[in-house]
């Protein structure tokens, strides 16, 4: 166990030098080359920032889609002269009854692989919709995979819109990723007050232009609230123009009233539609509705044909900027709910780093003194191993660009306490062996050999715990699992390679003397 | 003579007494947990947690409470946290919070207290997420116990596996029981602590088991009681030294690591002490009760050949 070939020694020390280099990289300011640019990232709990978990509420989309399906089904029946009864929507499913002779024909239409009404999703080997036939009553609803497909599409779209909105606000290196099939994780490092972002993400930003209703409206009308939540306005259900026709939007100031407004320009199709609608309805009031709330309802003084317009309302400078941002980034396909939020201020993060560093140093010093007190010279070897262990741990964390969290720092400190265990196991064994073995070299050799299985078992158990923590834990806890797990690997390395090599040099030098442990 | 270590403690004389002591502790813990319940934090119960610092150092805690009660937020709690002008507010609101929720509280508090307020930390966990976090936490603990069971089974024999798992369950129940008794908060970091305790306690047990197995093979005539007693003695100094260095590190976190890590390091300190005790007085006697002999470990080798 104590023999080391030249190549082995070279490899051990090369690894140590390499990883020491990476741990030093953290303290270098100049980060030009690829290797120097690696660093340990600080978690949100250490550098401050916001963590938001958003959930896409897909129920309005399902409702809308089922409604569209009902309309196309009705069209299909009319076109093919199929008699149907009681066609209605009940709890997100379409229900109706058919004559018995039409049932087969319907099924053929429904289950055809190239049907546009009920598309076949080849990747799931399933249709978008399910149907149940009971006597002559038929019930259609979304299949399991149809819903998944729908949710995935909504999530993808939402992700894109969220990304645009966050980018527009211009925060520092945001992370925006999918979580499962209906959630989006947004991490905003360094952000002190997430309120504005939360407000921006909480809005669907569905913009519509609709006429204020007179009583003879064939499309039906509805009563909507203004943004202030008090005043109401009856507007037509017919949408003249919606947000997708917008080419751009920016905050502006009305030249006459000097009030903040949002000016927009429309795409070609939108301009034409808008021009036609406004030419025919001069003198009427056009309501501008955002997420079912009326922003304003100005009177159309003249046809707007150039495709440019201005939205006035009860804006402040900030709210006009935000509305323009929302309109530019587009509407979310479905509402987003913030289901988890964690925000840490930068000063708390700094305090945590300080506290973590202080407790690391104190814990480290205590352990080093204790080991020296217990084992004297061998204690020094254990301590050198411990110091190298910490440097290697730091180097590996840097190389893997791990995110360090406060529990992660706790994991490092815990590693300091537990890392010496490997050496303690070995030294205790050497002590025992030295009572029966005459030669020091032999005592060291069998000591290492016999302690091996205990050292391995003891560390594997902790490694298992940290692996499970890593795979199931969230956020900061993951950081703990990472440092603890990597700490075990560096501990095994330093004890079994570095520590053993140092011990072998010690044993060889002292081979003629009595040793006292 | 190999077995003449300077301090040879007769652990087996203590086994019965210590096992009764353990049984009492575990029973008490279960009683306390079932009657007093656990103080779940926002991670597992949902709600809002705010850590705030007031600029004005003369704010009285009851003023903060009064101000919050005035806002009618439902079930609230306020306590000091860390330094003298830091406070921790917990709001158990079940209603769906609007996006301005936090801002409204901040403005209202700052107006009532007549002091600038800094929200150092805000955690807002919805009911769906907190239920999932709790489920994941319990799953993680169960999985780690199962993984340990399997690992020891593979490396040793089922008797060893049984002993180790009973010791682990013993450690977890007593640690959680103490948290229930003191009504300390259980949050995500406590789950991490419990999992680490599982690893640590196992680590301690395995070292003793490893020696027992070795001695069983070497001294086939000795009864298990002597073997386990000798093995415990041989590894005792290692057991104590490692516990001490780990505790040194943990106490350092507890006293200097800041208020956020207090609960975590407390759970770990309790866990390390209980885990060290249980390796000697819970896991090892079980080998005796399950009548492990040299044949148990030698059979394993024959099977391999």
- Give the residue from B190, B159, B50, B170 showing the smallest Cα distance to B110: B50
Does B30 score more than 90 pLDDT?
yes
Query: Which pLDDT does position B18 carry in this prediction?
Result: 92
* pLDDT at residue number A72: 85
- Which residue in B47, B252, B272, B275 has the most chain A C-beta atoms within 10 A of its own C-beta, making it the best mutation to test that interface? B252
Q: What mean pLDDT value characterizes chain B?
A: 86
What range does the domain containing A129 cover? 59-147
**Contact flag A341-B124 (C-beta cutoff 8 Å):** yes
Judging contacts by C-beta atoms under 8 Å, the chain A residues touching residue B241 are 370, 374, 420, 424, 428
Regarding whether A69 and A89 lie in a shared domain, the answer is: yes
Q: What is the pTM of this model?
A: 0.84
Q: Which of A38-47, A111-120, B4-13 has the highest mean pLDDT?
A: A38-47
Q: From CA B122, how far away is CA B138, in angstroms rounded? A: 25
pLDDT above 50 for B100: yes
For range B154-161, the mean pLDDT: 89
Residues A376 and A284 in one domain: no
The confidence score (pLDDT) of residue A515 equals 53
Percent of chain A with pLDDT over 70: 96
Alpha-carbon distance values, A315 to A190, A196, A292, A324, B253 (Å):
29, 16, 17, 11, 51
Fold for B11-41+129-304, please state it.
Multidrug efflux transporter AcrB transmembrane fold (1.20.1640)
Question: Residue B114's pLDDT band (boundaries 50, 70, 90)?
Answer: confident
* Of residues A351, A450, A462, nearest to B200 (C-beta): A462
What is the mean pLDDT of the segment spanning B219-234?
89
pLDDT of residue B23: 95
Q: Is the dihedral of CA A418, A423, A426, A432 positive or negative?
A: negative
Instruction: Answer yes or no: are the C-beta atoms of A40 and A404 closer than 8 Å.
Output: yes
Region B230-249: mean pLDDT is 92
According to DSSP, the β-strands at A126-127 and A49-56 are unpaired
Report pLDDT digits (tens) over A340-385. 989 998 888 899 999 999 999 999 999 999 999 988 888 998 999 9
Residue A217 and residue A139 in one domain: no
Contacts of B257 in chain A (CB under 8 A): 355-356, 358-359, 409-410, 413
What pLDDT score does A370 carry? 94
Phi then psi for residue A328, to 5 deg, are -65, -45
Q: Do A477 and B191 touch (CB under 8 A)?
A: yes
Instruction: Name which of A43-47, A67-71, A473-477 the model is least confident about.
Output: A473-477
pLDDT the model gives residue B96: 55
| For residue B94, pLDDT beyond 60 | no
List the single residue in A351, A413, A460 with the smallest CB-CB distance to B253. Answer: A413
Residue contact B203–A462, C-beta within 8 A: yes
Q: Report the pLDDT value the prediction gives residue B248, as an integer from 0 to 100.
A: 94
Per the CB < 8 A criterion, the answer to whether A369 and A96 are in contact is no
In CATH, what number is assigned to the domain containing residue A447? 1.20.1640.10
Residues A440, A444, A447, A451: what is their CA dihedral angle, to the nearest 10 degrees?
170
Measured between CB atoms, which of A342, A355, A457 is closest to B206? A457
One domain for residues A497 and A418:
yes
In which band, very low, low, confident or very high, does the pLDDT at A211 lie, cut at 50, 70 and 90? confident
d(CA B282, CA B273): 13
Q: Chain A residue closest to B246 (CA)?
A: A417
Which tokens sit at B92? Answer: 């158990």
For residue B300, pLDDT over 70 is answered with no
Contact criterion met (CB < 8 Å) for B258 and A416: no
Which pLDDT belongs to residue A517? 52
Share of chain A above pLDDT 90, in %: 13
Q: Say if the Cβ atoms of A337 and B126 lie within 8 Å.
A: yes
Q: Does pLDDT of B2 surpass 50?
A: no
Candidates A9, A14, A20, A11; CA nearest to A392 is A20
Whether the CB-CB separation of B39 and B47 falls below 8 Å is answered with: no
Mean pLDDT across the stretch A79-89?
Answer: 84
Q: How far does the CA of residue A482 sit from the closest CA of chain B (Å)?
A: 12
CA distance B138 to chain A (A): 10
* Three-state SS annotation for A111-140: HCCCCCCCCEECCCCEECEEEEEECCEEEE
**What confidence category does residue B277 fall into, taking pLDDT thresholds of 50, 70 and 90?**
very high
Of A340, A356, A424, nearest to B241 by CB-CB distance is: A424
| A21-35, A470-484, B155-169: the lowest-pLDDT one | A21-35
Q: 2.30.30.220, 3.10.20.30, 3.30.70.3400, 3.30.565.10: which CATH number matches B47-125?
A: 3.30.70.3400
Question: A449-457 — which CB contacts under 8 Å span 24+ positions?
Answer: A449/A1, A450/B214, A451/A425, A451/A426, A453/B210, A454/A425, A454/B206, A454/B207, A454/B210, A454/B211, A455/A422, A455/A425, A455/A426, A455/A492, A455/A495, A455/A496, A456/A492, A457/B155, A457/B203, A457/B206, A457/B207, A457/B210
At residue A314 the predicted structure's pLDDT band, cuts being 50, 70 and 90, is confident
Min Cα distance A286 → chain B (Å) is 30
Q: Do B257 and A344 touch (CB under 8 A)?
A: no
Q: Are residues A382 and A441 in the same domain?
A: yes
Q: Cα–Cα distance between A491 and A392 in angstroms, integer?
A: 9
Residue A180 within a domain: no
Residue A158 lies in a domain: no
Asked if residue A438 is part of any domain, the answer here is yes
How many whole angstroms separate alpha carbon B87 and alpha carbon B90?
10
Q: Please judge whether A345 and B119 are an interchain contact, meaning their C-beta atoms are less than 8 angstroms apart.
A: yes
Residue A170 within any structural domain of the chain:
no
Residue A26 lies in a domain: yes
Statement to judge: residues A79 and A117 lie in one domain: yes
Q: Is A28 in the same domain as A93?
A: no
Domain ranges of chain B: 11-41+129-304, 47-125
pLDDT band, very low/low/confident/very high, at A184 (cuts 50, 70, 90)? very high
Q: Is the dihedral of CA A456, A458, A464, A470 positive or negative?
A: negative
Establish if B253 touches chain A: CB-CB under 8 angstroms: yes
What is the structure's pLDDT at B1?
A: 31
Confidence grade of residue B178 (pLDDT, cut at 50, 70, 90): very high
Question: In chain A, how many domains are there?
Answer: 3
Cβ atoms of B134 and B44 closer than 8 Å: yes
**What mean pLDDT comes out for the span A191-198?**
82
Chain B contact for A129 (CB, 8 A cutoff): no
Pick from B3-12, B13-22, B117-126: least confident:
B3-12
Nearest to B237 among A344, A356, A428 (CB): A428
Q: How big is the A-B interface in CB pairs under 8 Å? A: 221
Q: Specify if A171 maps to a domain.
A: no
Same domain, A28 and A64: no
Phi-psi bin for A141: left (phi > 0), alpha (psi -120 to 50), beta? beta
**Which of B:130-149 have CB within 8 Å of A?**
133, 136-137, 139-140, 143-144, 147-148
pLDDT: is B278 or A197 the higher one?
A: B278
Tell whether B151 lies on the interface with A, counting CB pairs under 8 A: yes
CATH code: domain of residue A273: 3.30.1360.200
CA distance A411 to A484: 5
CA angle (A472, A477, A480) in 5-degree steps: 115
Angstroms from B107 CA to nearest CA on chain A = 13
Instruction: Kindly indicate the confidence band of residue B4, based on its pLDDT and cuts at 50, 70 and 90.
Output: very low
Q: What is the ipTM of this complex?
A: 0.87
pLDDT recorded at residue A186 = 92
Range from A83-87, B7-11, B35-39, B288-292 carrying the lowest mean pLDDT: B7-11
Angle at A472 between CA A466 and CA A477, to 5 degrees: 60
Strands A336-344 vs A41-42: parallel, antiparallel or unpaired: unpaired
């Amino acid at each position: 166990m104590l023999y080391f070939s030249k190549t082995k020694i070279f490899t051990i020390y090369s690894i140590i030098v390499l990883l020491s280099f990476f741990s030093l990289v953290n303290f270098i300011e100049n980060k030009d080359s690829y290797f120097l640019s690696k660093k340990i990232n600080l978690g949100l709990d250490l550098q401050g920032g916001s963590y938001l978990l958003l959930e896409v509420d897909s129920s309005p989309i399902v409702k809308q889609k089922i409604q569209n399906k009902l309309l196309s089904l009705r069209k299909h029946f009319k076109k093919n002269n199929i008699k149907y009864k009681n066609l209605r929507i009940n709890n997100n499913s379409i229900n109706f009854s058919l004559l018995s002779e039409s049932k087969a024909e319907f099924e053929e239409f429904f289950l055809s692989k190239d049907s546009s009404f009920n598309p076949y999703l080849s990747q799931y080997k399933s249709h978008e919709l399910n149907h149940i036939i009971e006597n002559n009553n038929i019930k259609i609803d979304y299949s399991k995979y149809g819903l998944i497909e729908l949710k995935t599409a909504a999530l993808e779209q939402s992700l894109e819109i969220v990304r645009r909105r966050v980018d527009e606000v211009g925060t520092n290196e945001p992370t925006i990723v999918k979580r499962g099939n209906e959630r989006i994780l947004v991490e905003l490092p360094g952000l002190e007050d997430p309120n504005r972002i939360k407000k921006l993400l909480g809005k669907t930003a569905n913009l519509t232009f609709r006429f204020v209703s007179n009583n003879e409206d064939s499309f039906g009308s509805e009563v909507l609230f203004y943004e202030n939540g008090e005043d109401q306005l009856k507007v037509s259900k017919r949408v003249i123009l919606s947000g997708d026709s917008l080419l751009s939007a920016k905050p502006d100031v009305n030249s006459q009233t000097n009030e903040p407004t949002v000016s927009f320009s429309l795409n070609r199709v939108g301009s034409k539609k808008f021009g036609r609608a406004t030419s025919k309805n001069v003198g009427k009031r056009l309501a501008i509705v955002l997420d079912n709330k009326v922003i304003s309802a100005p009177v159309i003084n003249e046809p707007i044909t150039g495709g440019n317009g201005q939205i006035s309302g009860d804006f402040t400078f900030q709210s006009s900027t935000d509305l323009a941002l929302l309109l530019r980034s587009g509407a979310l396909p479905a509402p987003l709910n913030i289901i988890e939020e964690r925000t840490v201020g930068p000063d708390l993060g700094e305090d945590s780093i300080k506290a973590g560093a202080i407790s690391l140093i104190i814990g480290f010093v205590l352990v080093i003194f204790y080991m020296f007190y217990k084992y004297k010279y061998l204690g020094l070897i254990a301590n050198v191993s411990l110091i190298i262990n910490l440097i290697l741990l730091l180097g590996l964390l840097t190389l893997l660009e791990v995110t360090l969290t406060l529990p992660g720092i706790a994991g490092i400190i815990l590693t300091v306490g537990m890392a010496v265990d490997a050496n303690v196991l070995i030294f205790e064994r050497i002590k025992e062996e030295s009572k029966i073995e005459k030669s020091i070299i032999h005592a060291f050799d069998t000591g290492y050999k016999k302690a091996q299985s205990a050292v391995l078992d003891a560390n594997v158990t902790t490694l298992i715990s940290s692996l499970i923590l890593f795979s199931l834990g969230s956020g900061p806890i993951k950081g703990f699992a990472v440092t603890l797990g990597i700490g075990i690997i560096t501990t095994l390395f330093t004890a079994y390679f570095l520590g053993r090599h140092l011990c072998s040099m010690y044993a060889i030098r002292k081979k003629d003397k009595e040793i006292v442990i | 003579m190999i077995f003449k270590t300077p301090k040879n403690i007769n652990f087996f004389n203590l086994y019965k007494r210590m096992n009764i002591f353990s049984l009492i502790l575990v029973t008490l813990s279960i009683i306390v947990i079932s009657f007093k319940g656990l103080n779940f934090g926002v991670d597992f119960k949902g709600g809002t947690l705010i850590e705030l610092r007031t600029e004005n150092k003369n704010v009285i805690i009851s003023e903060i409470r009064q101000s919050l009660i005035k806002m009618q937020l439902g079930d609230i709690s306020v306590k000091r946290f860390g330094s003298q002008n830091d406070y921790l507010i917990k709001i158990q609101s079940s209603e769906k919070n609007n996006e301005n929720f936090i801002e409204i509280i901040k403005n209202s508090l700052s107006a009532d207290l007549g002091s600038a307020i800094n929200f150092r930390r805000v955690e807002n966990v919805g009911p769906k997420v907190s239920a999932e976090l709790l489920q994941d936490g319990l799953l993680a603990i169960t999985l780690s116990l199962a993984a340990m069971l399997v690992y020891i089974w593979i490396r040793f024999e089922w008797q060893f596996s049984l002993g180790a798992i009973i010791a682990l369950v013993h450690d977890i129940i007593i640690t959680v029981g103490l948290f229930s008794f003191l009504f300390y908060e259980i949050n995500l970091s406590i789950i991490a602590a419990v999992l680490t305790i599982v690893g640590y306690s196992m680590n301690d047990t395995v070292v003793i088991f490893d020696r027992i197995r070795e001695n069983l093979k070497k001294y086939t005539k000795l009864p298990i009681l002597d073997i386990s007693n000798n093995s415990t003695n041989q590894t005792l100094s290692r057991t104590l030294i490692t516990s001490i260095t780990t505790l040194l590190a943990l106490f350092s976190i507890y006293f200097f690591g800041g208020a956020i890590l207090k609960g975590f390091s407390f759970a770990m300190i309790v866990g390390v002490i209980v885990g060290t005790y249980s390796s000697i007085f819970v896991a090892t006697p079980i080998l005796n009760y399950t009548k492990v002999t040299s044949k148990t470990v030698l059979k394993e080798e024959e099977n391999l050949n």
